[in-house]
């Protein structure tokens, strides 16, 4: 193994050939023609089908299962229950890492939430397994379920709301700040439980070859999942192969290995044959994560000039009865607006649901809805235009930490977005704009922000005898464009054209690709790739200058540069030779380089690092019927270096559409009698469709950030979901003068 090139090497200006190009999605044709192999498309020889039986109560015990009836059904091979489930090397209730959630692997008859797996039926066909699961006819000892997040008597303050995220933060004296303000906002906003609903559920096809395990399953974090499986089954991580070339969507819920995936693997172990297990859509609502509901109280004080004297943000959320994940909603208020005093606090109530987890801007998305609504209320209280109010409270340093921003072009986002949207024509008073058909028109604004997050990743670069390149890393593409953007970085790092560079990703036997999450995948893996490519080129240069037969012989290494498949002298372009010639003379079939990407803790100490944006929304409301449509949205975002503007625009569209869904559609309804989700399907759990999405524009605001990482990448995956829902709610208020404080917005909010 060669030395890793540290990514803290000084950034340098380079001619970038692939980076910055609007390359089309390289996996696009495979996906739309059905050639892409998703997990459930795999059918190894002798494969059996497994179907989960899940609890229909939210709290209690399974008293009886009719295993005999299920086993008697033709085609049923085995029924796995807590009685006979193969032993595990580790307790599924142990977790030693924030990406390792406590699992429900039939460890007892205890039911902790509705839809918890209680048995697995394994059969020759999917139909037989489904019928077998129905024949189990479970009987329960039912106990009362705690479902109410407003049970104050049950609320507690968690130790932390995430890794390195304390539940409370304060600067200044919040009570003095509130007392000092001549205007006040004191409002509580409610956001509902939401479920990820990726197109492909957490399907698993598992095959054991002795103690070796091969798993086809979607994963945003294969290396961590591989470690989790190795621990649970007491085998070497190197004996686990996870293949996850296409994820069918992730949105956070594939960031950690989940119970149904492990149950499929246990089933394969039990019967000694490959097994496929695909959760049904309704089964996605419980054991596979969700965004917890929140209740957020914002108390703001403003002086006569419209400057914030106090910003207090309290967020209540829920976690499960048996594990910890806390939606850190209030932390959005650390970053955006300057205020004499800021106070953020969280508390939580345990309820009988599956454990919530990362979902599309976890904390930022739900927190932004409340903060941006409150800021709009504050602007109105001060008689100010919402954009003017935000500019009056623009943060020049990060308010909670006092640190300078590594870069912040939010002002340009406001300016370019407002210009494009036509914000200057907005009438200040609500309910005072109409269109030609008499519909009420409202214009609203929301500020977007998302932190720069990096995990750790590695990459291996190979220059081959024919002068072409290979880049290998276990990166994961859940649809965001990693196969494309990372390949562009790979080609540039090796100074090759994109079509001269093979990009390999999507399996766990490649160098650790880290986590496709936190909007940090391109930054993390991209910098690993860049370092690996530069490492390979550096080794090639060392070979050339030491080789008496090379035209570059005798030059200092820093007097040689790589240019599109050739090395040449920096000050004499005539002295050059191709990669292939150097390798051929050395008798090498290939040459490797290695690189790592990770956050530089020192930079994080010195700078606050965030992407920013501004979202402008127009709604039209029928004043008689209360029908509302979002007719137009313009978002402008500054997020550091853009690798591929086509992919980035697509990410911004996706984020704004999530925001639209947050504002208008997404809500899981719990039956208060049973604790079951009543709309656990895509027919009734609404997400935006094409008909809901009118005119969207996403502007990319240029931003050079010399600090975040060598490539200057901030991340674009989640930022556009922040800002958007608040902008829509604020537009509804502007159209109707009705303030939305409970999401999603409904007809009742309009009339």
Residue 189 CB-half CA count within 13 A: 32
Shortest distance, CB of residue 721 to ligand MOS, whole angstroms? 9
Of residues 274 and 514, the one with the C-beta less far from ligand MOS: 514
User: Which stretch in 124-132, 359-367, 640-648, 734-742 sits in contact with ligand MOS by CB under 6 A?
Assistant: 359-367
Should residue 635 be labelled a site residue for ligand MOS when binding is judged by CB under 6 A?
no
Of residues 254 and 612, the one with the C-beta less far from ligand MOS: 254
Should residue 479 be labelled a site residue for ligand MOS when binding is judged by CB under 6 A?
no
Should residue 360 be labelled a site residue for ligand MOS when binding is judged by CB under 6 A?
yes
SS3 string, 76-139, reads: EEEEECCCCCCCCCCCCCCCCCCCCCCCCCCCCCEECCCCCEEEEEEECCHHHHHHHHHHCCCE
- Tell me the number of residues near ligand MOS by CB under 6 A: 10
Shortest distance, CB of residue 63 to ligand MOS, whole angstroms? 38
352 phi and psi angles, rounded to 5 deg: -85, 75
User: Which stretch in 273-281, 320-328, 355-363, 681-689 sits in contact with ligand MOS by CB under 6 A?
Assistant: 355-363
DSSP annotation of 288: T
User: Which stretch in 136-144, 353-361, 646-654, 679-687 sits in contact with ligand MOS by CB under 6 A?
Assistant: 353-361
Site string for ligand MOS, 199-238 (x = CB under 6 A): ---------------------x------------------
Shortest distance, CB of residue 108 to ligand MOS, whole angstroms? 30
Of residues 417 and 661, the one with the C-beta less far from ligand MOS: 661
Should residue 616 be labelled a site residue for ligand MOS when binding is judged by CB under 6 A?
no
Should residue 158 be labelled a site residue for ligand MOS when binding is judged by CB under 6 A?
no
Instruction: Identify whether the C-beta of residue 680 lies closer than 8 Å to the C-beta of residue 670.
Output: no
Should residue 596 be labelled a site residue for ligand MOS when binding is judged by CB under 6 A?
no
With CB atoms as reference, the residue minimizing the distance to ligand MOS is 252
Should residue 101 be labelled a site residue for ligand MOS when binding is judged by CB under 6 A?
no
Vertex 510 angle, CA 504 and 515, to 5°: 90
Which of 120, 121, 207, 359 forms a contact with ligand MOS (CB under 6 A)? 359
Which helix (H) or strand (E) segment holds residue 310: the answer is strand 308-319
Shortest distance, CB of residue 378 to ligand MOS, whole angstroms? 29
Site string for ligand MOS, 50-79 (x = CB under 6 A): ------------------------------
Shortest distance, CB of residue 635 to ligand MOS, whole angstroms? 19
What's the rounded Cα separation, in Å, for the pair 320 and 340?
36
Sheet holding 139-142, edge to edge: 110-111, 60-64, 139-142
Q: Which of 578, 610, 637, 5 is nearest to 364 (CA)?
A: 610
**Tokens representing residue 479 in the block:** 């649809």
User: Which stretch in 72-80, 356-364, 433-441, 499-507 sits in contact with ligand MOS by CB under 6 A?
Assistant: 356-364
DSSP annotation of 466: T
Shortest distance, CB of residue 449 to ligand MOS, whole angstroms? 15
Shortest distance, CB of residue 362 to ligand MOS, whole angstroms? 5
Shortest distance, CB of residue 364 to ligand MOS, whole angstroms? 9
669-706: b (≥16 Cβ within 10 Å) or e:
ebeeeebbbebbeeeebebbeeeeeeebbbbbbebebe
Shortest distance, CB of residue 521 to ligand MOS, whole angstroms? 9
Which of 99, 189, 208, 358 forms a contact with ligand MOS (CB under 6 A)? 358
| 170: β partners | 343
Of residues 320 and 416, the one with the C-beta less far from ligand MOS: 320
Which of 252, 293, 444, 712 forms a contact with ligand MOS (CB under 6 A)? 252
Shortest distance, CB of residue 520 to ligand MOS, whole angstroms? 8
What's the rounded Cα separation, in Å, for the pair 443 and 433?
9
Of residues 476 and 484, the one with the C-beta less far from ligand MOS: 476
Hey, which residues between 513 and 532 contact ligand MOS (CB under 6 A)?
Answer: 517-518
Should residue 535 be labelled a site residue for ligand MOS when binding is judged by CB under 6 A?
no
Shortest distance, CB of residue 516 to ligand MOS, whole angstroms? 7
What's the CA dihedral at 722, 723, 727, 733 to 10 degrees?
Answer: 80
729: helix, strand or coil: helix
126 phi and psi angles, rounded to 5 deg: -65, -40
Torsion sign across C-alpha atoms 744, 733, 416, 629: positive
Shortest distance, CB of residue 220 to ligand MOS, whole angstroms? 6
Determine whether 89 is exposed, middle or buried from the number of CB atoms within 10 Å of its CB (0-12, 13-18, 19+).
exposed
Which helix (H) or strand (E) segment holds residue 319: the answer is strand 308-319
**Residue 197: CB atoms within 10 Å:** 20
Which of 92, 250, 479, 661 forms a contact with ligand MOS (CB under 6 A)? 250
Contact partners, residue 519, CB within 8 Å, separation at least 6: 450, 453, 611, 715, 716, 717, 718, 719
300 phi and psi angles, rounded to 5 deg: -125, 140
Shortest distance, CB of residue 247 to ligand MOS, whole angstroms? 10
- Residue that the structure tokens 């999405």 belong to: 693
User: Which stretch in 357-365, 479-487, 544-552, 734-742 sits in contact with ligand MOS by CB under 6 A?
Assistant: 357-365
What's the CA dihedral at 228, 163, 507, 467 to 10 degrees?
Answer: -140
DSSP annotation of 400: T
Shortest distance, CB of residue 250 to ligand MOS, whole angstroms? 6
Shortest distance, CB of residue 717 to ligand MOS, whole angstroms? 7
Of residues 358 and 652, the one with the C-beta less far from ligand MOS: 358
Should residue 367 be labelled a site residue for ligand MOS when binding is judged by CB under 6 A?
no
Which of 158, 362, 386, 613 forms a contact with ligand MOS (CB under 6 A)? 362
Determine whether 272 is exposed, middle or buried from the number of CB atoms within 10 Å of its CB (0-12, 13-18, 19+).
exposed
User: Which stretch in 5-13, 139-147, 250-258, 411-419 sits in contact with ligand MOS by CB under 6 A?
Assistant: 250-258
User: Which stretch in 150-158, 247-255, 274-282, 720-728 sits in contact with ligand MOS by CB under 6 A?
Assistant: 247-255
Torsion sign across C-alpha atoms 240, 356, 401, 447: positive
**Residues of this chain that bind ligand MOS (CB under 6 A):** 220, 250, 252, 255, 358-360, 362, 517-518
């Amino acid at each position: 193994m060669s030395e890793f090139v540290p990514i803290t090497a000084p950034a340098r200006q380079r001619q970038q050939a692939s980076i910055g190009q609007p390359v089309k999605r390289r996996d696009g044709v495979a996906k739309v023609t059905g050639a892409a192999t998703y997990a459930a498309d795999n059918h190894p020889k002798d494969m059996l089908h497994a179907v989960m039986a899940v609890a229909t109560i939210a709290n209690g015990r399974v008293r009886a299962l009719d295993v005999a009836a299920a086993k008697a059904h033709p085609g049923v091979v085995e029924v796995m229950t807590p009685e006979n489930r193969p032993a595990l090397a580790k307790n599924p209730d142990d977790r030693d890492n924030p990406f390792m959630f406590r699992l429900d692997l039939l460890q007892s008859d205890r039911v902790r939430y509705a839809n918890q797996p209680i048995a697995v039926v394994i059969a020759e066909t999917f139909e037989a397994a489904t019928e077998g699961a129905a024949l189990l006819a479970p009987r329960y000892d039912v106990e009362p379920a705690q479902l109410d997040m407003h049970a104050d008597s049950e609320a507690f303050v968690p130790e932390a709301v995430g890794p390195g995220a304390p539940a409370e933060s304060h600067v200044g004296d919040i009570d003095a700040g509130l007392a000092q303000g001549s205007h006040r906002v004191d409002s509580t906003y409610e956001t509902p439980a939401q479920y990820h609903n990726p197109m492909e559920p957490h399907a698993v096809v598992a095959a054991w070859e002795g103690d070796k395990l091969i798993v086809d399953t979607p994963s945003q974090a294969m290396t961590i999942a591989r470690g989790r499986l190795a621990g649970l089954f007491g085998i070497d991580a190197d004996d686990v192969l996870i293949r996850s070339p296409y994820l069918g969507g992730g949105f956070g819920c594939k960031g950690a290995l989940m119970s149904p995936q492990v149950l499929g693997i246990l089933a394969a172990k039990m019967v000694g044959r490959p097994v496929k297990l695909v959760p049904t859509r309704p089964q996605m609502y419980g054991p596979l994560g969700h965004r917890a509901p929140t209740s957020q109280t914002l108390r703001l004080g403003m002086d006569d000039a419209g400057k914030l004297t106090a910003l207090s943000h309290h967020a209540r959320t829920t976690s499960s009865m048996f594990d910890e994940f806390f939606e850190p909603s209030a932390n959005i208020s650390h970053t955006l607006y300057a205020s004499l005093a800021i106070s953020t606090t969280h508390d939580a109530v345990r309820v009988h649901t599956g454990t919530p987890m990362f979902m599309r801007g976890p904390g930022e998305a739900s927190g932004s809805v409340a903060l941006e609504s409150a800021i709009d209320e504050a602007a109105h209280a001060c008689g100010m235009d919402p954009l003017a109010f935000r500019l009056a409270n623009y943060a020049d340093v990060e308010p909670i930490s006092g640190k300078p921003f590594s870069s912040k072009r939010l002002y340009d986002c406001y300016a370019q977005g407002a210009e494009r949207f036509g914000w200057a024509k907005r009438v200040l008073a609500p309910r005072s704009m109409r269109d030609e058909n008499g519909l009420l028109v409202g214009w609203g604004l929301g500020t977007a922000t998302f932190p720069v997050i990096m995990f750790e990743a590695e990459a291996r670069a190979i220059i081959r005898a024919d002068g072409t390149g290979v880049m290998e890393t276990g990166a994961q593409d859940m649809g965001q464009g990693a196969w494309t953007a990372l390949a562009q970085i790979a080609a540039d790092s090796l100074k090759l054209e994109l079509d001269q560079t093979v990009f390999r990703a999507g399996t766990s036997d490649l160098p650790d690709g880290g986590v496709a999450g936190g909007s940090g995948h391109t930054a993390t893996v991209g910098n690993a790739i860049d370092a690996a490519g530069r490492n390979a080129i550096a080794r090639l240069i060392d070979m050339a200058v030491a080789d008496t037969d090379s035209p570059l012989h005798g030059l200092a290494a820093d007097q040689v540069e790589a240019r599109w498949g050739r090395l040449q002298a920096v000050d004499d372009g005539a002295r050059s030779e191709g990669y292939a010639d150097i390798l051929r003379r050395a008798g090498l079939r290939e040459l490797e380089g290695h690189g790592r990407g990770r956050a530089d803790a020192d930079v994080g100490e010195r700078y606050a690092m965030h992407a920013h944006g501004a979202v402008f929304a127009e709604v039209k409301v029928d004043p008689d019927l209360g029908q509302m449509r979002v007719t137009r949205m313009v978002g402008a975002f500054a997020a550091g270096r853009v690798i591929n503007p086509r992919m980035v625009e697509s990410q911004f569209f996706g984020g704004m559409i999530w925001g639209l869904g947050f504002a208008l559609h997404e809500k899981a309804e719990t039956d208060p009698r049973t604790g079951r989700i009543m709309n656990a399907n895509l027919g009734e759990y609404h997400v935006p469709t094409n008909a809901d999405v009118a005119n969207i524009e996403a502007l990319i605001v240029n931003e050079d950030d010399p600090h975040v990482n060598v490539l200057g990448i901030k991340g674009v995956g989640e930022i556009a979901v922040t800002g958007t829902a608040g902008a829509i709610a604020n537009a509804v208020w502007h159209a109707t003068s009705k303030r939305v404080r409970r999401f999603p917005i409904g007809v009742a909010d309009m009339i």
